[in-house]
């Protein structure tokens, strides 16, 4: 029997769908799962009648693969990934290639690339976004590692990826853990946009008294605009329209208000802090999830801490698409992308990843969770100026900021007056206002530091380092 082109370890929903995707694109496959029962269920179910075979153990798995072997691991990030690498390594031969398609921490991937490449195996750390449907129909993929390893799988990945007007949603990201780093930041941006849409929903529901279908109509309208047309707005509309079949009540209203997380949003914020990148919108979304999980405390505090007496808040009307609220959503979404891209730029310099910013925007245009029409503008902005320091100052984005800032300010001020939390909107407003301020008050911070700790300061009227005896 001829050897298969491609091997998959880990038959979770993402693994299953990726192997079906590979097979559909002409790559015969072998699958291995820790429990063979799962393999059998898959082969007799979605895998039936396809060029996909199973293996009971790793020896059989590698024996069924053509050389050099191309093996995708879709297992839990962390210790489980290390365990699989350790188990399969004795069966690998020079030139064989392991691909980690999970959400691994990029520093783990750095270590694994160095470790595996030193044994003459290839190793690719690849971010995969698109959820279960994307994995099956065409995800966005962010592979990092050596260029030689990428070249060995390029033809397969370009066929499997989502396709947009200017090509497949996959490209060589860069060395080491760069692929997983880019996926981590992708998820940080995703956290931001999810929280932004949740804040808009909360204001429309609690301040304007709109029901699920009315809010969904606004989402539908926003999704028809260039600025907000995106997968996340599209699924928000779908979520808001879904009714419980038993009583017709919106399912969203029955969901516990505690958001989970698997780590990538946290890693984005930690990396930003380490690299000195400013990501307040993304941080606010992460903190929103942390605060949401404190349900018992919040319920207790609700009866003790009183907000201002509720007033009305002008968020626009149904007919103008809730114009000021749309301004807030657009500018906060732009802030989330701008902060993520800025973090990528800093990481690229720090870790020598040589990230190609227009290409990253391009591969996010299809298949992934943050796909949106804005990404074409982001791609254009970095094509126009490959060294762009911040998206906000690109001419198209600057025009958006200048036009929509009053709307964002109005929403944040109004939300504060009625006592509604809008962490991403307010962080984005502060982010933009800080970024557009040539002289910030940190001169006074420097004075205080010098006063109590002789930390010295620079002056704007002469060169040098200065200290003042502040308290005579
Ligand atoms: C994922 O990569 O699984 C999701 O896109 C985001 O993860 P989380 O919201 O569960 O952290």
The token pair at 464 is 């040098």
190 given a catalytic annotation:
yes
Look-up of token digits 């609690």:
206
Are 15 and 74 in contact by the 8 Å Cβ rule? The answer is yes
Average pLDDT estimate for 17-43? 97
What's the topology of domain 183-435? 1.10.1040
CA neighbor of 267 nearest in space, from 351, 356, 183: 183
Q: What is the pLDDT of residue 408?
A: 98
**At residue 50, does pLDDT exceed 90?**
yes
User: 457 by DSSP, 3-state: which?
Assistant: strand
Is domain 6-176 in CATH 3.40.50.300, yes or no? Answer: no
Instruction: Report phi then psi at 208, rounded to 5.
Output: -90, -10
Q: 178-206 and 323-351 helices cross at what angle (nearest 10)?
A: 160
So where are the chain's domains? 6-176, 183-435, 443-472
State the average pLDDT over residues 253-264.
95
- The candidate with the shortest Cα–Cα distance to 283, out of 139, 427, 381, is 427
pLDDT at 329 over 90: yes
Instruction: Please check the confidence at residue 432 and state whether its pLDDT lies above 90.
Output: yes
Share of the chain above pLDDT 70, in %: 100
Query: Is there an atom of ligand 1 within 6 Å of 328 CB?
Result: no
DSSP string, 198-253: HHHHHHHHHTT---HHHHHHHHHHHTTSTTT-BHHHHHHHHHHH-B-TTT--BGGG
Q: Is the pLDDT of residue 311 over 80?
A: no
Per-residue confidence (pLDDT) for residue 296, from 0 to 100: 97
- pLDDT for 308 beyond 90: no
Q: Give the residue whose CA is nearest to atom 5 of ligand 1.
A: 187
Interval 360-386 mean pLDDT: 97
Degrees, nearest 5: CA angle 286-162-349:
55
Peptide bond into 254 cis (omega under 30): no
pLDDT, tens digit (0-9, with 9 covering 90-100), for 98-121: 999 999 999 999 999 999 988 889
**Catalytic, out of 23, 110, 183, 365:** 183
Q: What count of other Cβ atoms lies within 10 Å of the Cβ of residue 428?
A: 28
Q: What is the mean pLDDT of residues 159-165?
A: 97
Q: Is 368 in the pocket of ligand 1 (CB under 6 A)?
A: no
**Cβ–Cβ under 8 Å, residues 130 and 136:** no
Which pLDDT belongs to residue 421? 97
Q: Can you give the pLDDT at residue 472?
A: 84
State residue 318's pLDDT score.
Answer: 86
* Per-residue model confidence (pLDDT) at position 41: 97
Mean pLDDT of 180-193: 98
Q: Tell me the C-alpha distance between 436 and 444, whole Å.
A: 19
Looking at the predicted structure, is the pLDDT value of residue 256 above 80? yes
pLDDT (average), residues 261-274: 96
Decide which of 316 and 412 is more confident. Answer: 412
- Pick the more confident residue, 316 or 251: 251
User: SS3 breakdown of the chain: % helix, strand, coil, rounded to 5?
Assistant: 55, 10, 35
Nearest CA to ligand 1 atom 8: 261
pTM score, whole prediction: 0.96
Average pLDDT over residues 356-373: 97
Which residue among 131, 132, 190, 286 is best mutated to probe the pocket of ligand 1, counting the most ligand atoms within 8 A of its Cβ?
A: 190
For residue 194, give the ligand 1 atom closest to its CA.
9
SS3 (DSSP) at 373: coil
Residue 420 Cα to chain centre, angstroms? 26
Q: Tell me how far apart the alpha carbons of residues 466 and 447 are, in angstroms, rounded to a whole number.
A: 10
**128 C-beta neighbours (distance < 10 Å), count:** 28
What pLDDT sits at residue 312? 80
**Which has the minimum average pLDDT: 62-66, 385-389, 467-471?**
385-389
Q: How far is CA 92 from CA 6, 54, 75, 88, 353, in A?
A: 14, 18, 18, 7, 28
Of 281, 288, 192, the residue nearest 232 (C-alpha): 192
CATH of 443-472, one of 3.30.2090.10, 3.40.50.720, 3.20.20.80, 1.20.5.320: 1.20.5.320
Q: Tell me the average pLDDT across 41-59.
A: 97
List the catalytic residue out of 16, 23, 110, 190: 190
User: Average pLDDT of 336-350?
Assistant: 97
Is it the case that residue 310 has pLDDT exceeding 80?
no
């Amino acid at each position: 029997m001829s050897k298969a082109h491609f091997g998959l370890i880990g038959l979770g929903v993402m693994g299953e769908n990726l192997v079906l995707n590979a097979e559909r694109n002409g790559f015969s496959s072998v699958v291995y799962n820790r429990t063979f029962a799962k393999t059998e269920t898959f082969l007799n179910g979605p895998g039936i009648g396809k060029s996909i075979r199973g293996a009971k153990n790793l020896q059989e798995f590698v024996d069924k693969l053509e050389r050099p072997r191309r093996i995708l691991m879709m297992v839990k990030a962390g210790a489980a990934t290390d365990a699989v690498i350790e188990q399969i390594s004795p069966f690998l031969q020079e030139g064989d290639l392991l691909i980690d398609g999970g959400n691994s921490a990029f520093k783990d991937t750095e270590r694994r690339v160095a470790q595996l490449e030193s044994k003459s195996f290839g190793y690719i750390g690849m971010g995969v976004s698109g959820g279960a449907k994307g994995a099956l129909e065409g995800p966005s993929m962010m592979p990092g590692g050596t260029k030689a390893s990428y070249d060995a799988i390029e033809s397969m990945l370009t066929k499997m990826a989502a396709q947009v007007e200017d090509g497949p949603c996959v490209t060589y990201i860069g060395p080491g853990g760069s692929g997983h780093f880019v996926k981590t930041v992708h998820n940080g941006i995703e956290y931001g946009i999810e929280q932004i849409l949740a804040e808009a929903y909360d204001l429309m529901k609690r301040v304007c008294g709109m029901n699920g279908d009315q809010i969904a109509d606004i989402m539908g309208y926003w999704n028809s605009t260039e600025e907000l047309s995106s997968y996340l707005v599209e699924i928000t509309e779908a979520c808001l329209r879904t009714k419980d079949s038993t009583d017709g009540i919106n399912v969203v209203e029955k969901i516990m208000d505690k958001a989970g997380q698997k780590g990538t949003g946290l890693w984005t914020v930690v990396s930003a802090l380490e690299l000195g990148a400013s990501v307040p919108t993304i941080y606010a979304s992460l903190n929103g999830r942390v605060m949401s999980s404190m349900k018992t405390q919040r319920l207790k505090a609700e009866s003790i801490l009183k907000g201002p007496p509720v007033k009305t808040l002008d968020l626009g009307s149904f007919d103008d698409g809730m114009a000021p609220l749309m301004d807030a959503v657009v500018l906060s979404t732009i802030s989330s992308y701008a902060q993520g891209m800025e973090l990528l730029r800093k990481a690229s310099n720090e870790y020598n990843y040589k990230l190609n910013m227009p290409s990253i925007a391009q591969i996010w245009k299809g298949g992934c969770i943050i796909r949106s029409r804005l990404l074409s503008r982001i791609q254009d902005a970095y094509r126009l100026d490959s060294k762009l320091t911040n998206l906000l100052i690109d001419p198209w984005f600057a025009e958006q900021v200048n036009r929509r800032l009053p709307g964002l300010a109005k929403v944040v001020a109004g939300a504060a007056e009625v006592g509604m939390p809008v962490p991403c909107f307010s962080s984005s407003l502060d982010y933009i206002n800080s970024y557009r301020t040539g002289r910030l008050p940190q001169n006074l911070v420097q004075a205080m530091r010098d006063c109590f700790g002789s930390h010295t300061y620079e002056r704007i009227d002469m060169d040098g380092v200065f200290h003042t005896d502040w308290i005579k």
